[in-house]
Structure 1
């Protein structure tokens, strides 16, 4: 039975490319048939004049990155949105800007994933260890990598998780190839997964799992071969077929992700970040059968999700009804307040097979101090680092701003 919500207004801001890719105008028509008025927001004008707004849907990732580079125009537009949100805390935002900033930084999102996994205490989940390189590799880099539980081969990724260059990655097979690593970046242990990637597209409480091609298996340990540079977006296209995605050496465990695990992962991320439109990249370790989260994306393309509009409309209807019933709003953030989530104790004892006990680049001191404090998910708060060379303080550091300039030299195209 369809629910009509006459008088409710939904404002949206998406790039022209994103609107065309999603055919978003068709979604606007669906909303109108339910009595919901849909308004395309003009950020060059005060939002107060375009309100009132019960819901705001957006993908402001490009503008947020440019604002973080102190681009005057982007700062003005993002602040205009934030001012409206602060003035109207009853407006439901899909999704809150602090959460988007967290997802734009792979270091912060990986830290969050590791902490969620520790809280879940589910041996079916084990994401790879990672570390951040903020400067050129030196004599002590290899030792630092070993201390963080990383092994060859490993994946080298840009720190910024959005934009065309965020898909440019490299597989590093030996210390000889460390010279090819260009900081600041994130390095993450490579897990053999039989060349299959599972993209989980989340819309509120609904999610769809789509199978995609991925990188083939490689022998564990250092290897006498050159680094492989690739574009992850091209590798994981539905029709992708190349030597990199070959399944000739498939071995061990080959199974789809467990529905209970995916449901709990998506639920935990929704609660921790207060987001509802995101994607999770999951692989299955072919040796242990464990699930590993290797990336999280804000408002992905939802390619291969035929019911996306239906799921989105149902989600909007649900949150609007909750608002009308004066229920707690799971997605609306208080004005200018940092997002926090409760912290459980870290998993103790011997880690399960194939799982490193190190949580990213956190030091023991940081782990012990975090057990009594809330998770810091606000992008501008920063996070403690183990040392100056290898740290996780990108949100406010010059390195992060330089990285944005280098990787988003031109406006990043929305996914």
Structure 2
């Protein structure tokens, strides 16, 4: 990396505060990198030029489907990116948009057992429910997908507070509790431990969190359990839903090599540098099981996040410099591809 680079950050107010962008800016300044907080509500060209734009436009992307102002903001951002091909985007908009749809991200996860069979990595079977229908057709579709009770029901849109509102369904009699569009995912007993994997470029970090306790497989007359996954998996969570039988043996930690293989495969499949994946370990088979993928997560519990993000930014800039390509801030469009 040569000279002083300009990195634009296009984040929501909530994300900016949670990330503590001011502290990150101070760190970058000492490394020859200027951080610019972008205002999507103002013309972007005068705010540039940018060597890299780091963004999380999930709110805008989701709301653009029904809100004209959000649609306008997204169109302006896309126009700026198209007009400045020398600016690198972390991460590509099409890749981020795909991950906002659990129907799409679960298709990706469902293929992991093919590419990572040697590591015994998989994801639970699932069923995408597009619209309300009769329960008999849903049960027939479940049988084809090898789905059995209990089931986790999740919203189709993987963003916003509603995306954390889930339910645990124990029998066909409770299927009317399902509200499409949504995903039904097979529940895997995993010893109430969730492994949150945070990816920053070619580095990743694993943090343990509480998770749902074990439930017997097969249908039962238990009523549907509604819960907020964010609340259940907080570091300090003491929910009754996470309380294990004291005689439950501890599961072995996930293999670091297997985790690395999973992250590498997802980086290839997603074409992204900033994402997270939620992993559990099946108490019966000890199989590593991916249950969700997250866009630009909070990185709570990862003290190395700032240094890792800065290292990745510098690496991306060095790679471009070594190829002889120039950014928009170095005068001139280059046709550099917007991926990481």
Above 0.5 in TM-score? Answer: yes
Counterpart mapping for 1:55-204 below 5 A: 55-69=52-66, 71-138=67-134, 139-204=136-201
> Which residue matches 2:302?
305
Structure 2 residue 240 is the aligned partner of structure 1 residue 243: yes
1:199·1:282 contact (CA, 8 Å) conserved in 2? yes
Give TM-score scaled by structure 2 length: 0.92
CA RMSD of aligned residues (A): 1.9
1:253·1:285 contact (CA, 8 Å) conserved in 2? no
> Which residue matches 1:410?
none
Quote the Cα distance in structure 1 between the aligned partners of 2:295 and 2:247.
31
1:137·1:178 contact (CA, 8 Å) conserved in 2? no
Of the structure 1 ranges 81-90 and 142-151, higher mean CA displacement relative to structure 2 is found in: 81-90
Structure 2 residue 15 is the aligned partner of structure 1 residue 18: yes
Quote the Cα distance in structure 1 between the aligned partners of 2:336 and 2:131.
35
By how many angstroms is 1:120 displaced?
Answer: 2.7
Tell me the secondary structure at the aligned position of residue 128 of structure 1: coil
> Which residue matches 1:403?
none
> Which residue matches 2:4?
7
Which residue of 26, 32, 37 corresponds with 2:29? 32
Of the structure 1 ranges 201-210 and 248-257, higher mean CA displacement relative to structure 2 is found in: 248-257
Quote the Cα distance in structure 2 between the aligned partners of 1:250 and 1:217.
12
Tell me the secondary structure at the aligned position of residue 191 of structure 1: coil
By how many angstroms is 1:230 displaced?
Answer: 0.3
How many residue pairs match? The answer is 330
Tell me the secondary structure at the aligned position of residue 122 of structure 1: helix
Distance 1:229 1:85, change over 3 A: same
Deviations 1:22-51 (A, max 9, x none): 111110111111111111112122222222
Of the structure 1 ranges 113-122 and 290-299, higher mean CA displacement relative to structure 2 is found in: 113-122
Gap regions ≥5 residues in structure 2 = 327-334
Quote the Cα distance in structure 2 between the aligned partners of 1:187 and 1:327.
48
1:252·1:286 contact (CA, 8 Å) conserved in 2? no
2:112·2:123 contact (CA, 8 Å) conserved in 1? no
Quote the Cα distance in structure 2 between the aligned partners of 1:286 and 1:172.
20
Give TM-score scaled by structure 1 length: 0.76
Distance 1:321 1:205, change over 3 A: same
Counterpart mapping for 1:149-298 below 5 A: 149-248=146-245, 251=248, 254-298=251-295
Distance 1:174 1:327, change over 3 A: farther
Distance 1:250 1:153, change over 3 A: farther
Pick the structure with more strand per residue. 2
Quote the Cα distance in structure 2 between the aligned partners of 1:164 and 1:213.
19
By how many angstroms is 1:90 displaced?
Answer: 2.5
Quote the Cα distance in structure 1 between the aligned partners of 2:324 and 2:246.
53
Tell me the secondary structure at the aligned position of residue 56 of structure 1: strand
Gap regions ≥5 residues in structure 1 = 340-415
Tell me the secondary structure at the aligned position of residue 107 of structure 1: helix
> Which residue matches 2:329?
none
Of the structure 1 ranges 317-326 and 83-92, higher mean CA displacement relative to structure 2 is found in: 83-92
Distance 1:230 1:115, change over 3 A: same
